């Protein structure tokens, strides 16, 4: 993932932490358009009108299909 890349969320790995649900509640769900804004020091992306900051381990759970 590099800053400026666009794509659609293809999948969110589910695990026991509940992060998939939290992401979904913010609108980060499969099919949503996503644009990566920044990767250092933290990961920031824009997903369907919502700007979100996450830590690396969470970002790894979001799989994107590039445009």
Partner 1 sequence: MSSAVAAPSGRPAFLRLRSHPLKIALVGNPNVGKSVVFGRLTGRYATVSNYPGTTVTITTGRALIGAEVCDVIDTPGVNALEGVLSEDERITKRLLSTGGAELIVQVADARNLRRALMLTSQLADTGLPMILVLNMVDEANARGITIDAEGLSAHLGIPVVEAVAPEGRGVAELREALPAATPVAGARPAGVSHIDWASSMTAEFRRVNVVSAGRLRETINRAVREPLTGLPILALVLYATYLFVGVFGAQTLVGALENHVFNGLINPAATTAAGLIPLPLIRDFLVGNYGLITMGLTYAMAIVLPVVTTFFLMFGFLEDSGYIPRLAIFSDRLFRSMGLNGKAVLPMVLGLGCDTMATMTTRILGTPKERLIAITLLALGVPCSAQLATIMGILGGISVWALLLLFGVVLSQMILVGFLAARALPGDRSDFILELPPIRLPRMRNLVTKTALRVRWYLGEAVPLFLVGTALLFVLDRIGALDLLTGAARPVVTGALGLPSESAGVFVMGFLRRDYGAAGLFKMAHDGSLTAVQSVVALTVMTLFVPCVANLLMIVRERGARTGMAILAAVTVIAIGTGTILNFALTTLRITF
Residues contributing to the site for partner 1 (CB under 8 A): 17-19, 21-27, 29, 31-32, 37-38, 40-42, 44, 48-55, 57-58
CB of 25 to partner 1, least distance (A): 3
Cβ pair 30, 9 in contact under 8 A = yes
Q: Which CB, 1 or 26, lies closer to partner 1?
A: 26
CB atoms within 10 A of CB 2: 6
Angle at 13 between CA 12 and CA 15, to 5 degrees: 130
Cβ pair 12, 62 in contact under 8 A = yes
Q: Which CB, 57 or 66, lies closer to partner 1?
A: 57
CB of 33 to partner 1, least distance (A): 10
């Amino acid at each position: 993932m590099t800053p400026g890349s666009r794509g659609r969320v293809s999948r969110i790995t589910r695990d026991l932490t509940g992060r998939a649900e939290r992401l979904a509640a913010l609108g980060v769900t499969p099919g949503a358009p996503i644009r990566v804004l920044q990767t250092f020091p933290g990961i920031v992306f824009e997903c369907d009108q919502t700007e979100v900051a996450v830590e690396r381990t969470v970002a790894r759970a979001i799989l994107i299909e590039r445009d």
